[in-house]
Structure 1
Amino acid sequence: MKVLVVSDNHGQTDVLQQLKARHQDEVEHFVHCGDSELPSDSTAMEGFYAVRGNCDFDSGYPQRLIIEVESNRLFIAHGHLHQVKSSLMPIKYAAEEEEANIVCFGHSHIAGAEYTGGILFVNPGSISLPRMTHDKTYAIIEETNLDFFVHYYNEKGERLSSHTFNK
């Protein structure tokens, strides 16, 4: 399983097109965690499982989304309705209710990954307005039988870091 996760492009379309072109043969799914500020029928958003962020006004986006990828159940939300800037507990509880084992969210513009209680939490950071770093980031989640890998990249596609989590 390989899933690309991006968030918070805040109206920038070129970067989304570049990500799709760069990784179309490598990843199985594209996930957008909100604050695209684009219409849900925008060409730039084609091919993305996408949710509505606090800066999205198109009601065509759901507030949260559940997708099944192989043996994984992904819970996708922007995070503003789950207070992710304060704690992961509200989004963890929501994910548990949906029996999800991977949570993808944005909102804070801070990239990070954590594996706790059998759930992988991934925030790809922001692809346009990062906080706590100068790097505009996105993530690719990869799974093997034993591990999850979360690889972070900058907008040019250069790998910045990787994290391994034993399942």
Structure 2
Amino acid sequence: MKLLIVSDSHGLTEELSELQEQYGDSVDALIHCGDSELRAGQIEIKDFLIVRGNCDFERRFPLDITKKIDGNTIFVTHGHHYNVKMTLMNLNYKAKEVDADFVFFGHSHVLGAEMIDNRLFLNPGSLLMPRGRVEKTYAIVEKEGNTIRVSFYTDKHRELEDLRQEFVL
């Protein structure tokens, strides 16, 4: 399984179109964790699984998505309803409730990946206004067998090799 995860693009369109074009045929899903500030039906997000963030006014975007992809349960949310800027505890409770294998969220604009209770929690950072680093980022998550690889990329598609992580289940 291979997934592209992006969040907090706040009105950007060319960058999202570029991600669709570059990765659309090589990943199992394109995922947007909210605050796109775009409308449902816009071409720039047509291929994305997308949720509503605190800056999104489009009510057709759901607050959360739970989806099975290649036998894995993926949970996507923006994170503001789970207070992710303060703690991942609430999000972890929800992840347990839906039996998620992967939990993708945004809101804080701070990239990161960690395993909690044998689930991957990942924030891809922000394509527009990163916090904690200067690079505008998105993430690629790959699972092969019992190994999960996480790679973060800049908006110019350069891997931030120092942030590459591998987790063994």
TM-score for the superposition, normalised by structure 2: 0.97
Q: In 1, Cα distance between the equivalents of 2:111 and 2:126?
A: 7
- Aligned pairs (5 A) from 1:9-24: 9-24=9-24
- Using the TM superposition, give the Cα deviation of residue 30 of structure 1 relative to its aligned residue in structure 2, in angstroms: 0.3
Identity of aligned residues (%): 42
Match of 1:152 in 2: 152
3-state DSSP of counterpart to 1:81: helix
Match of 1:166 in 2: 168
Residues 92-112 of structure 1: CA distance to partner in whole angstroms, max 9, x if unpaired? 101111111100000000100
Runs (4 or more) in structure 1 with deviation over 6 Å come to none
Residues 44-95 of structure 1: CA distance to partner in whole angstroms, max 9, x if unpaired? 1100000000000110000000111112100100000000011111001011
- Aligned pairs (5 A) from 1:5-44: 5-44=5-44
- Using the TM superposition, give the Cα deviation of residue 25 of structure 1 relative to its aligned residue in structure 2, in angstroms: 2.7
Q: In 2, Cα distance between the equivalents of 1:5 and 1:40?
A: 18
- Using the TM superposition, give the Cα deviation of residue 24 of structure 1 relative to its aligned residue in structure 2, in angstroms: 2.0
TM-score for the superposition, normalised by structure 1: 0.98
Residues 105-152 of structure 1: CA distance to partner in whole angstroms, max 9, x if unpaired? 000001000012111001000011101111000001100112111110
Q: In 2, Cα distance between the equivalents of 1:27 and 1:37?
A: 24
State the number of aligned residues.
167
The one-letter amino acid of 1:70's match is: D
- Aligned pairs (5 A) from 1:134-145: 134-145=134-145
Match of 2:132 in 1: 132
The one-letter amino acid of 2:31's match is: V
Match of 2:97 in 1: 97
